[in-house]
Amino acid sequence: MMKVTVDHNRVNPLYLFYFFRSRYGRYELLKNASQVGTPGIATPLTSLRSIRVPVPPLPEQHAIAHILGSLDDKIELNHQMNATLEAIARAIFKSWFVDFDPVRANRGELDSLPPDVLALFPDTFAESELGAIPAGWEVETLGKVAKNLRRNVDPDDLPPHTPYIGLGHMPQESISLTEWGEAQEVGSTKRQFKEGEILFGKLRPYFHKVGIAPVDGICSTDIVVIMPKQPNWYAFTLCHFSSAEFIDYTTAVSTGTKMPRTKWRDMSRYEIVVPPKEVAVTFGQLVEPMFHKIRSNILESRTLADLRDTLLPKLISGELRVPDTMIENEE
């Protein structure tokens, strides 16, 4: 690693950070990189000292850093909001469909919940192969409520900028899929998906890569595309497929030593407790707006990142000047 210590009387550290993220800054860093042996920057200290940095007046640096930093702050805020929304949805799912809290509340074992929620649940349990479940509910398999969509497509037959999602684009333990590439970057047969469909990484499922497709596009064949058989069961289906319990199950039934994969056949056999339709509908009405907001935040962040990456080289090079009024405010 290399470290740069900044003279704060001459350079804003955040301005310098964005300089090294710019196309020119990256070129200056990497032009002395060596690919012999372990790739790295030859004579790093000499290379660093030789880099010429455009240094506008300090108030203009502050203004540039403020503009670009504000865009990154908003992107990070969207990321935090998505994490919070997902956590809320998971907490409600666990309360209703794992711990059966409304049933326990009806039995007086827990503090009371909203009356409209309690009215959906019974006040007794029944025994099943999965243990005690709410009376009147059934044990079924995920394959009864969800289906695997196998739409094969050749990337060469699509517009080159069609979004492409591979396993490398999918974060762990988060349904927010914020990154994707383009169809022109890949070859061979891929799977087609539509916005809102559920994407499940079946290769080494213990990495817990499950998310909501934020756009229409194509994905690796190591990603399973899933949707509920009935629209009202979307939130219920998504929460099951992205649950830690389901990940543990798919890991256990995976085949292969070095590159274990799970199969839809085994995924569809996972047993779950299925509530009456009105419970699934109410749950969807409660949490699906959260999932819509997550997708909306992802698209907004993508737009902000594109704007930042467009402004960055123009501001650093001086092609685009910061308004004088903003510089005066920084002063």
- Check residue 98 and give its pLDDT: 96
- Report the pLDDT value the prediction gives residue 47, as an integer from 0 to 100: 78
| 18: in domain | no
Q: What is the CATH number of the domain that holds 166?
A: 3.90.220.20
Q: Does the residue 263 lie in any domain?
A: yes
- Write out the two tokens for 95: 């309360």
Query: What SS3 class is residue 264?
Result: helix
pTM: 0.88
**Would you say residue 224 lies in a domain?**
yes
Tell me, what's the pLDDT at 329? 66
Q: What digits encode the pLDDT tens for the residues 20-56?
A: 998 888 888 888 777 777 778 777 777 788 888 899 9
Backbone angles phi, psi at 171, to 5 degrees: -75, 165
Q: Based on the structure, what is the number of domains in the chain?
A: 1
**Do 65 and 18 touch, CB atoms closer than 8 A?**
yes
Q: Residue 193: inside a domain, yes or no?
A: yes
With a cut of 50, list the residues of the chain below it in pLDDT.
none
| Domain assignment present for 326 | no
Domain for residue 126, yes or no? Answer: no
d(CA 289, CA 282): 12
Q: What is the pLDDT of residue 30?
A: 83
> How much is the pLDDT for 26?
87
95-102 LR contacts (CB < 8 Å, sep 24+) = 96/275, 96/279, 96/283, 97/236, 97/239, 97/273, 97/275, 97/283, 98/245, 100/125, 100/133, 100/134
Residue 175 belongs to a domain: yes
d(CA 325, CA 331): 10
C-alpha pair distances (Å), 204 with each of 54, 208, 256:
46, 8, 9
Boundaries of domain holding 200:
141-273
Residue 245 covered by a domain = yes
Spell out the alpha helix ranges (H) of the chain: 13-21, 23-30, 44-50, 58-97, 101-106, 115-118, 234-241, 244-253, 264-267, 277-317, 324-330
